[in-house]
Structure 1
Amino acid sequence: MGSVVLSGCGGDSDAKDEKPAAAASASGGQEQSTTAVRSAYDKTADAETAKMTVKVKASADGQSITSDGKGAIDLADGDSTMTVTAQGKSVEQRVVDQVLYQKAPGQEKPNGKSWMKIDLKKVAEQQGSDPAQIGDPAQSAAYAKAINDDDVTEAGSEKIGGVDTHRYKVSVDVARLPGGAKLRQQIGPTLPMQLWLDDEGRIRRQQIDLTVKAPASAQPKASSSNQQVKVSTVLEFSDFGTEVDAEAPPSDQVADMTDQALRNGQKQS
């Protein structure tokens, strides 16, 4: 569209030739940026494994909670091991075959078991999709398919963990994501995201900032409007090729909390 408009605005033949070329050059740069972002997930997965950190900050009504996770991930299937610390408490966490296992020192042990598990696939099937899962690196590849050609902007260079990176601002079309209809109701039509890619096109940092409508059941009874929660998720990858040892705990030490999670999900829907 830009080249068509410009081609009719020149005062002489030289100007007419130069302006469409400039527009084509800008278009080519845009296409390169979009291609870089779209291919980043595949290039990152090609590294097979990585160390990762995840920082999540949730804010509402002037209060905020921050959690920090540190561990390693199999980029092909999403299996991971991590220690998550929030409000001074640490939780050992593993994801194996889309099942989440957690062990927290001092927590109430259901049926005397030291670990609890939640089948993430079953929860996702009930909920369609959940904003809380947006920062899940195993789900990130879906973003590549949801990015429009005109929704990527290159935003300069920056070092991440001592590595040179190119930063991109991205607007993801929520309707194109799994469970997009429900997500749209909760976070709006677009998902704002930033990506930092290294010279090999791999993701070094992914940042997503959302404003999420809290479920009605989670809001104060006296509230006359939907409460909103601001959630910032920053995911970083490093040490590609690192060893990942993600194994399910012994079954006799695990209490299955999937049904309880499903009931809680139904109450909040």
Structure 2
Amino acid sequence: MTVKRMTGGVLATVLLCTGAVACGGSDDGKKAKGAGSGEIQSRSQVTEVITAAYEKTSKAKSAKVEMTMTAPASMGASAGEMKMSGVMGWDPTVMDMTMSGSALTKGDPEAPENIRMLWLDNVMYMNMGAAVAKEMDGKQWVKMDLNSIAEQSGDEKLAKQVTGGLESMNQDPAQQLAMLLDSPNLKHVGSAKVDGVQAQRYKGRLTVKEMMETNKGLSDVLSKSEREEMFKSIEKSGIKGYDTEVWVNEDDYPVRMDIDIKSPEGTMKMSQKFSDYGSEAKVTAPPTGQTVDLMEMFKEIGEAAGSDSDSGL
């Protein structure tokens, strides 16, 4: 049960982190044309606003984040709600977030209601709470090094896929806005307030193919044939595309971004709110003596199982 609880937390966190790197903004002192106007903007004005947001957020390098991800019951193990709040930095990617929600506790009444997650140097650390610590020599932190997992697998294809995912995650979070600029139907849909802040709302849609073609992180680490294979796999899953909405304030910063991913099982929704751009995102790894390496633990369990089998137990 401890292993199941730890693994479930890891998988849920990986899913969220993959989606968490999303937002974007120009620091040239000029207000993007139309950014403070309630009038519907032309395509050129929309492009200017989103480009300004892309550039400005790139330079900020960090922000406070509140995120909610929901998946319908038809998605089985992925169903439920997950919330994250904390600070995130980019270039390089670092996070200090606290997670909660039904997706964490589903099927396990003893699962922690909150999990603190740290991300540093492509390594994820999660504080699984006192219940897990009792069974892990008092150690509350679980470590998962995705680079190491890829290398230890001995599978070059798997290693490339994992590395590709990490490269994509390590892209400047403004990449989501850069990708949105490539949406053929990007448009301004009016003004709205986000937590009392006046903002302009923009909407666009990318097909899976368009998303992959504009994702520089994938093209840097995967060959054309490997990207085509990944595209076929995603297409086979039934995912049709990504609907993105972003709210940009009068300072050219995105204050909210929503992404809907549609599939035959239903729509997965992710909503993020951003504030305090430039907030310090200093993350320190927990002490080694308080940390359990998840993959080392799996290895020991496997060796113990093999030993029992050899002895006829």
* Residue of structure 2 in register with 1:75 after alignment: 90
Displacement of 1:166 in angstroms is 0.9
* TM-score of the pair, normalised by structure 2: 0.59
Computed over aligned residues only, the root mean square deviation of the Cα atoms, in angstroms, reads: 3.3
Match of 1:115 among 111, 135, 141: 141
**3-state SS of 1:73 partner:** strand
Give the structure with higher Rg (CA). Answer: 1
Say whether residues 1:55 and 2:68 are aligned partners: yes
Change (3 A) 1:170 1:119: farther
* Residue of structure 2 in register with 1:224 after alignment: none
**Larger mean Cα displacement after TM superposition, 109-118 or 41-50:** 109-118
* Residue of structure 1 in register with 2:192 after alignment: 158
d(CA) in 2 for partners of 1:119, 1:187? 30
Change (3 A) 1:185 1:251: farther
- Listed as ranges, the matches of 1:221-232 within 5 Å are 228-232=265-269
d(CA) in 2 for partners of 1:160, 1:186? 34
Q: Is the 8 A contact 2:240 2:263 kept in 1?
A: no
Say whether residues 1:93 and 2:92 are aligned partners: no
Say whether residues 1:168 and 2:181 are aligned partners: no
d(CA) in 1 for partners of 2:211, 2:293? 32
Say whether residues 1:102 and 2:139 are aligned partners: no
Count of residue pairs the alignment pairs up: 217
Match of 1:29 among 29, 36, 42: 42
1:75 maps to a residue whose letter is W
* Residue of structure 2 in register with 1:239 after alignment: 276
Displacement of 1:229 in angstroms is 4.8
d(CA) in 2 for partners of 1:166, 1:137? 27
Displacement of 1:60 in angstroms is 2.5
Say whether residues 1:251 and 2:263 are aligned partners: no
* Residue of structure 1 in register with 2:253 after alignment: 202
Change (3 A) 1:101 1:212: farther
Displacement of 1:210 in angstroms is 1.2
Change (3 A) 1:60 1:100: same
**3-state SS of 2:64 partner:** strand
List runs of 5+ in structure 2 lacking aligned partners. 1-40, 106-112, 151-158, 219-226, 299-313
Displacement of 1:71 in angstroms is 0.4
Change (3 A) 1:125 1:256: farther
Change (3 A) 1:119 1:37: farther
* Residue of structure 2 in register with 1:24 after alignment: none
Displacement of 1:256 in angstroms is 2.2
Identity of aligned residues (%): 22
* TM-score of the pair, normalised by structure 1: 0.68
**Larger fraction in strand:** 1
Say whether residues 1:126 and 2:177 are aligned partners: no
Change (3 A) 1:125 1:108: farther
Displacement of 1:248 in angstroms is 0.9
**Larger fraction in helix:** 2
1:81 maps to a residue whose letter is D
Q: Is the 8 A contact 1:50 1:75 kept in 2?
A: no
